[in-house]
Structure 1
Amino acid sequence: MLTVSEVDSGYGRGQVLFDVSLSIGEGEVVSLMGKNGMGKTTLIRTIMGMLPLRKGDIQFNARSTRGMAMHRIAAMGLGWVPEGRLIFPSLSVEENLVATACKRKGLCHSWTLEQVYALFPRLQERRDNGGGQLSGGEQQMLAIGRALMTNPKLLILDEATEGLAPKIRQEIWQTLSRVKETGQSILVVDKDVKALSKLADRHYMIEKGRIAWKGNTEMLMADTQRVQQYVGV
């Protein structure tokens, strides 16, 4: 589904990513882990077309996204939950959810407003509240729900639970497990190794802009020294 091949990228004259390769298959959940400042968000922004490729290629469903505008890449079926959430504070919860909603053919599961509310009952309770009136956890729920309403072929979450209270983090992970059960493909960036080991099928660790480790959950849990080195938990 998504193939990142030997990608270099960065900001201005500064290079952040070096020969990064990563892949996600249909219906697969893949994690990307690493300490702060190692290039995780830069990779997501490059996948989404916010940063240009300096080398390598990114293909989504066997089609190169090189040179495409961000909105065209998103229209191919990439749903993005950005770091910092970036919900519309002046719109109500329901307006946030329906503002970018779309239908898409050929999906194993189609998301509707009712299904998003079933995932996040708190959003239904606050459907008429402004986005800016929500707590951080509620805003993250809204950002995930908004991305699902685009009916993405691939859901990308950047820092899925960073800065959230433990109870809310647990609720987010439980919800993502339910989303996985629908067959949704997911790329999730986070540092919670324990939660990711239960959710994801495969894992990548990035250090100083390079993929330093990759493997399945069994390999991850057996290599605690690498986890400590690259994730620091």
Structure 2
Amino acid sequence: MEPITLRLPSDLLEELDAESDEAGFSTRSEYIRHLLFNRPDLSQLAAIEGSTAPPEAEQIEEIDQTVGELTERVEILTQRVTELEGETASRGGDSSTSPVNSTSETPSTAGESTTEEQSGGGPQSEEGNADLAEFEHWLESDGPQSDNARTVLLDAARILDGQGPLKASDLRQRLFDRHPEAYDSAEALWASTVERLYDDLPGFDRPEYGQYTFNRDDL
């Protein structure tokens, strides 16, 4: 072995002497040689300890993803509340119309006139109902055996026919909000209906990635 000379502060030398005595070394030099011989183990230990802590960037990314999912959920619920408020206001307007309407029309007739106004006229509404009737017939003859699945798919066609195209996440949540008792979660509903049967569903289409629409011409 070749001797070397180290110049160290006095306080560090005192610490080395104390550590060598506690470790059972007879001299300070033996203790320093022991530290130098074992430095690969120390470097590996430092690398392992450094890898156990998750990078701060990954934590920030996970938080951002969670915030994004919650924001999207809030937007969907807000939109659904707005729709329900509009439906409630529309029904309230029908019940508070002029005395002529309340006395000369039966409730069923008033409901039919309201439906025609919302859909843009009687002939167009009848055509839309006929198209959806064809899809409903397909569900009964060639669709899934589950009544819940057929009901969800028919509701999906109605939503997309009137409001599409919609993002998959938006359509999935709307369907689950309307059928919460039929499935354990929105993901389970989606996996059992639209996602599983999409290739066979007439009228359903994806104009862009992650979007769904319903085309009557394909029926």
**Aligning the two structures, in what range does the TM-score lie when normalised by the shorter sequence?**
under 0.3
Q: Name the structure with the higher helix share.
A: 2
Q: Name the structure with the higher strand share.
A: 1
Structure whose alpha-carbon radius of gyration is higher = 2
Larger RCO: 1 or 2 (CA < 8 Å, sep 6+)? 1
Query: Normalization by structure 1: what TM-score?
Result: 0.24
Query: Normalization by structure 2: what TM-score?
Result: 0.25
